[in-house]
Chains A and B, each alone.
Chain A
Amino acid sequence: MMRFAVVVFPGSNCDQDCRDVLERVMKQQVRMVWHRTRALGRVDAVILPGGFSYGDYLRTGAIARFSPIMKAVQRFARRGGLVFGICNGFQILCESGLLPGALVRNRSLKFVCRQVWLKVRNMKTPFTCACPARPLKIPIAHGEGNYYVEKKTLDELKKKHQIVFQYCDAGGRLSFEANPNGSVEHIAGVCNENFNVLGMMPHPDRSAEAVLGSRDGFFLWKSMVVFLMRKRTSCSA
């Protein structure tokens, strides 16, 4: 069994969804970590959940990145630990510099809450290694998910295969219409150079069971568990 930490900020609202998926669906151990805490303890992966940390004041994620726990998250990430930011968690990772770019207001200016299709661009990351080779149906719910990055960094992201998810249609085609928020290159999720930190706007925590309308988010959680199990086995062998 792997140990996951779910960080809780004031205004997080998907922390219990993450806990539920990890504990009940994935049968893993979960520790909820309040943002004022300074240490993560012994964990195998850290989840920064969705929500509206600090009311999204100033910029999304801008204040949360200075929470005491974030220093521990940065240390954990530097040592190669898995850090997964979903929605507001992605915004916090960008603000804290663990991921490149920033998330700005949706092109439509509207809060968009619906199922979208995602093309998995890199299936070798710890977060996607158990994903099937077809588009994934996962919901989004955000007003500021429009990913922006300067051209030079965008070229780097492409070259280093750091673009993990792109918005597409059910057939896997990228288009203006299939992009719900105006993100550059239809980007829905990116990882860092070492592939141990992933941020994405869509919610695999809200799509890990068929009863919720899609089970495709399950593959991301499964990927993480499979990756960590392999790592543990190879370390103890």
Chain B
Amino acid sequence: MKKNKGGIWKADVYVTLKPSVQDPQGDTVLRALKQMHYVGAQRVRMGKFIELWWDGKMSKKAVEKKTHEVCDRLLANPNIEAYHFILRKMTSNEMKVAK
């Protein structure tokens, strides 16, 4: 438990277009793949990847709640997008590399 007190929480947030929304970027990339002879390529959907760091002193539950909140309010538009995130503590080595 002790080692969990410090450090940084890292949320890897993935924002994707809802299946019902057209994705002209994804369609264009798919066409390019086909032109490059990747015959098995079936579907490409473009989205956003966002790294969100939180204070490591916060509880996991609190960080999850706050991450949902910022996704709902700002990072994703519920009219057109869906999101999910993976939350974990960063290792000290990862923090060194990231900074």
A residues lining the B interface (CB < 8 Å):
58-59, 62-63, 66, 94-95, 100-102, 104-109, 146, 148-150, 182
B80 interfacial by beta-carbon distance below 8 Å? yes
Which residues on B sit within 8 Å (CB–CB) of A148?
21-22, 79-80
Partner of A149, one of B28, B77, B79: B79
Number of A-B residue pairs, CB cutoff 8 Å, is 38
How far apart are the CA atoms of A62 and B17 in the complex, in Å?
A: 15
- Count, chain B residues at interface, CB 8 A: 12
Specify the chain A residue showing the minimal Cβ separation from B46: A105
Given A62-B74, A102-B79, A146-B24, output 4 extra A-B contacts at Cβ < 8 Å.
A59-B77, A104-B22, A106-B24, A146-B22
Which B residues, 14 to 36, have Cβ-Cβ distances below 8 Å to chain A?
17, 20-22, 24-25, 28
How far apart are the CA atoms of A186 and B79 in the complex, in Å?
A: 18
B residues lining the A interface (CB < 8 Å):
17, 20-22, 24-25, 28, 74-75, 77, 79-80
Which residues on B sit within 8 Å (CB–CB) of A95?
77
Partner of A109, one of B21, B24, B74, B80: B24
Which residues on B sit within 8 Å (CB–CB) of A66?
74
Can you show 16 pairs from A to B with CB atoms below 8 A apart?
A58-B74, A62-B77, A66-B74, A100-B79, A101-B79, A104-B17, A104-B80, A105-B25, A106-B24, A108-B24, A109-B24, A109-B25, A146-B24, A148-B22, A150-B79, A182-B24
Chain A: minimal CB distance from B73 (Å): 8
How far apart are the CA atoms of A101 and B80 in the complex, in Å?
A: 8
Chain A: minimal CB distance from B71 (Å): 12
Chain B: minimal CB distance from A200 (Å): 18
Which residues on A sit within 8 Å (CB–CB) of B77?
59, 62, 95, 102
Specify the chain B residue showing the minimal Cβ separation from A63: B74
How far apart are the CA atoms of A76 and B84 in the complex, in Å?
A: 35
